[in-house]
A and B are shown apart, each in its own frame.
Chain A
Amino acid sequence: MQGEIRSNQVNVDLQPPGIPAIACANLHSPFLPSLKRPALNGVNCVIQAGEFVTLLGLNGAGKSTLLRSLVGLVPIQKGTISINGLSVKSKLLRDRRDVSILFQGGGLVPQLTALENVLCGCLGQRSTWQTLIGFRHSDRLRALQLLQTMGLEAQIHQRTSQLSGGQKQRVAIARILMQSPKILLVDEPTTGLDMLAAKQVMDIFAQLHRQGMTIVSVLHDLTIATHYAQRAIVLNSGRVIYDGDCENLPNYLSLGNP
Chain B
Amino acid sequence: MKFFKFRHQGVGLNVAWLKGLLILGGLLILYGWALQGLKLNLETLNESVPYVIDFVSRLFPPDWSVTDVAVKALIETIQMSLWGTTIGAVLSVPIALLSAHNLTPGWISWTANLLQNMVRSIPSIVLGLFFVSATGLGAPAGTLALGIYTIGYLAKFYQEAIESVDPCSIESLQVSGASWVQIAQYGIFSQVLPPGLGYTLYMFEYNIRAASVLGVVGAGGIGFELVNYIRGFEYNKATTMMLILLIVVTLIDGVSNQLRRRLDTTH
Contacts and interface: CB of A to CB of B under 8 A. Distances in A.
A and B bound?
A: yes
B177 A97 contact: yes
Contacts of B190: 109, 111-112
B21 to A, nearest CB: 34
A175 B176 CA distance: 9
Contact of A110 (B176, B191, B193): B191
A93 B168 contact: no
Contacts of A127: 179
A108 B182 contact: no
A73 B177 contact: no
Nearest to A119: B186
Interface in A89-103: 93-94, 97, 100-101, 103
A101 B175 contact: yes
A146 interface: no
A107 interface: yes
Contacts of B179: 123, 127-128
Contacts of A93: 174-175, 177
A253 interface: no
A71 interface: yes
Interface string B74-90: 00000000000000000
A123 B182 CA distance: 7
B173 A110 contact: no
Contacts of B182: 123, 128, 131
A66 interface: no
Interface string A112-134: 10001000111111011001100
B176 A123 contact: yes
Interface residues of B, number: 22
Contacts of B187: 109, 120
Interface of B is mostly: helix
User: Could you say which of B171, B173, B176, B185 has the most chain A C-beta atoms within 10 Å of its C-beta?
Assistant: B176
B168 A123 contact: no
Interface string B160-177: 000000101101111111
Contacts of B177: 93-94, 97, 123-125, 179
A71 B176 CA distance: 10
B168 A107 contact: yes
B176 to A, nearest CB: 5
Nearest to B267: A111
Contacts of A94: 177
Interface string A150-193: 00000000010100000000001001000100000000000000
Nearest to B176: A124
B181 interface: yes
A110 B169 contact: yes
Nearest to A159: B267
Contacts of B175: 71-73, 93, 100-101
Given A103-B171, A120-B173, A124-B178, 16 more contacts: A72-B175, A73-B174, A93-B177, A97-B177, A101-B175, A103-B168, A103-B172, A109-B190, A111-B191, A111-B267, A123-B179, A123-B186, A124-B176, A128-B182, A159-B267, A172-B172
29 contacts: A93-B174, A93-B177, A94-B177, A100-B175, A101-B175, A103-B171, A103-B172, A104-B168, A107-B166, A109-B190, A110-B169, A111-B190, A111-B191, A111-B193, A111-B194, A112-B186, A116-B186, A123-B177, A123-B178, A123-B179, A123-B182, A124-B176, A124-B178, A125-B177, A128-B181, A128-B182, A132-B185, A172-B172, A179-B176
**For the complex of A and B, 7 pairs with smallest distance between CB atoms:** A124-B177, A107-B172, A123-B178, A107-B168, A111-B190, A128-B181, A124-B176
